[in-house]
């Protein structure tokens, strides 16, 4: 297949590109800079310079592809990023309309089913700021072949410098305590980066038949266990703290974001093989690239 990938040089997108190429597919990746475009070319992909704001360019690239995988999102400016994300999905979806060529868009598991395991049948909170799934539904309502891959809150791997866990590591380094909210029993689903990448490919190869797929290997890791491993590696106390300790991150630190991927595995044959979250972050090597990295979440 000829696959167009947005966010092709990002944490998840770059792993998807490598996985697709290794499986014999042809990839065109969207890149915001010549330097990153060169990195794509070295891998064997074709690079397309542009951003999500270049709607005509996105539509042309989608029209020339057999499938589209959309992972790009501007977390640094969330409201504007959410609007840009929706417009990009609509533009690429319109280009694919009238065909059976599939498109996979990316979302997350936050606020799906607090207090229980979220399933692929659960719908996101309509008030949630990220509107990727609503945009996908609008494309689907117009006859598009489109589905959402919901990423676990932790997509981990050695080399990760952004995302939720690196943020917690930097917070513990700065404050001298690895903290949790309340009793820390709230759970995070997690998935290894390489496993997440493989799911996107399998969903395309098996035929996109669902509205949502769950990239969740660990169904739910208690947050206090995450804090305990971080504290152990850094040699700092592991203690409860109030919301003010976490600042803007408090809703995520206290969020219950557990999910099952049973249906996804059954339909696609996906079998996660990477290390679980706790085993991953227990490695001293996981922390080296986090030190001194920026505090933002992945773009």
Give pLDDT, residue 285: 86
Q: Which has the closest alpha carbon to 289: 154, 169, 161?
A: 161
DSSP labels for 152-171?
Answer: -SEEE-TT--SSHHHHHHHH
Query: For residues 259 and 134, is the Cβ–Cβ distance under 8 A?
Result: no
- Give the C-alpha separation, 232 to 11, whole Å: 26
Q: State the virtual CA torsion across 51, 63, 12, 269 in degrees, nearest 10.
A: 170
Band of residue 236 on the pLDDT scale cut at 50, 70, 90: very high
- The stretch 142-149 carries a mean pLDDT of 94
- The stretch 137-166 carries a mean pLDDT of 93
Q: What percent of the chain has pLDDT over 70?
A: 95
Give pLDDT, residue 73: 87
- The stretch 281-297 carries a mean pLDDT of 71
Give pLDDT, residue 294: 47
Burial class (CB in 10 A: 0-12, 13-18, 19+), 137: middle
Tokens standing for 187? 């759970």
The answer to whether residue 295 scores a pLDDT higher than 50 is no
The answer to whether residue 212 scores a pLDDT higher than 70 is yes
Collect all residues with Cβ–Cβ distance below 8 Å to 185 and sequence separation of at least 6. 222, 223, 224
Give pLDDT, residue 48: 97
DSSP labels for 5-33?
Answer: EETTTSHHHHHHHHHHHHTT-EEEEEESS
Query: For residues 16 and 7, is the Cβ–Cβ distance under 8 A?
Result: no
Give the range among 126-140, 154-168, 195-209, 214-228 with minimum mean pLDDT.
Answer: 126-140
Query: For residues 162 and 11, is the Cβ–Cβ distance under 8 A?
Result: yes
Q: CA triplet 103, 105, 106: central angle to 5 degrees?
A: 155
- Give the C-alpha separation, 251 to 129, whole Å: 14
Per DSSP, helices labelled H in 161-293 are 164-175, 193-206, 223-234, 243-246, 250-253, 262-268, 277-281
Q: Please, what are the domains in the chain?
A: 2-153+191-218 (3.40.50.720), 158-190+219-259+274-286 (3.90.25)
pLDDT digits (tens, 9 = 90+) for 81-114: 788 999 999 999 999 988 999 999 999 998 899 8
- The stretch 56-60 carries a mean pLDDT of 97
Band of residue 296 on the pLDDT scale cut at 50, 70, 90: very low
Give pLDDT, residue 297: 43
Give pLDDT, residue 291: 57
- Give the C-alpha separation, 59 to 95, whole Å: 5
Average pLDDT score over the chain: 93
pTM: 0.93
Chain position carrying tokens 């404050």? 175
Residue 42 CB neighbours (<10 A): 9
Please name the helix (run of DSSP H) or strand (run of DSSP E) that holds residue 284, with its range, or none: none
Chain position carrying tokens 């499938």? 67
Q: In what order do the strands lie in the sheet with 46-49?
A: 46-49, 26-31, 2-6, 67-70, 103-108, 146-151, 212-215
Give pLDDT, residue 288: 81
Chain position carrying tokens 């959309």? 70
């Amino acid at each position: 297949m000829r696959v167009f990938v947005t966010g092709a040089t990002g944490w998840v997108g770059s792993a998807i590109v490598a996985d697709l190429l290794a499986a014999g597919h042809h990839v065109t990746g969207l890149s915001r800079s010549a330097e990153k475009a060169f990195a794509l070319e070295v891998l064997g992909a074709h690079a397309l310079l542009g951003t999500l704001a270049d709607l005509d360019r996105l539509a042309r690239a989608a029209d020339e592809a057999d499938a589209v995988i959309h992972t790009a999102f501007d977390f640094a400016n969330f409201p504007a990023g959410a609007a840009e994300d929706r417009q990009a999905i609509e533009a690429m979806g319109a280009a694919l309309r009238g065909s059976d060529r599939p498109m996979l868009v990316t979302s997350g598991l936050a606020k799906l089913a607090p207090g229980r395991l979220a399933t692929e049948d659960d719908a996101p909170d309509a008030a949630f700021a990220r509107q990727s799934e609503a945009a996908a539904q609008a494309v689907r309502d117009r006859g598009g072949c489109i589905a959402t891959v919901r990423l676990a809150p932790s997509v981990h791997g050695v080399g990760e410098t952004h995302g939720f866990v690196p943020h917690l590591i930097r917070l513990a380094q700065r404050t001298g305590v690895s903290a949790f909210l309340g009793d820390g029993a709230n759970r995070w689903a997690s998935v290894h980066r390489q496993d997440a990448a493989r799911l996107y490919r399998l969903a395309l190869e098996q035929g996109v038949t669902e509205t949502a797929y769950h990239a969740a290997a660990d169904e739910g890791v208690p947050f206090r266990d995450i804090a305990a491993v971080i504290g152990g590696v850094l040699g700092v106390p592991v203690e409860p703290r109030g919301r003010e300790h976490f600042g803007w991150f408090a809703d995520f630190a206290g969020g219950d974001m557990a999910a099952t991927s049973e249906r996804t595995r059954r339909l696609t044959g996906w079998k996660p093989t990477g290390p679980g979250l706790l085993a991953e972050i227990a490695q001293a090597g996981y922390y080296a690239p986090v030190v001194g990295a920026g505090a933002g979440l992945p773009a």
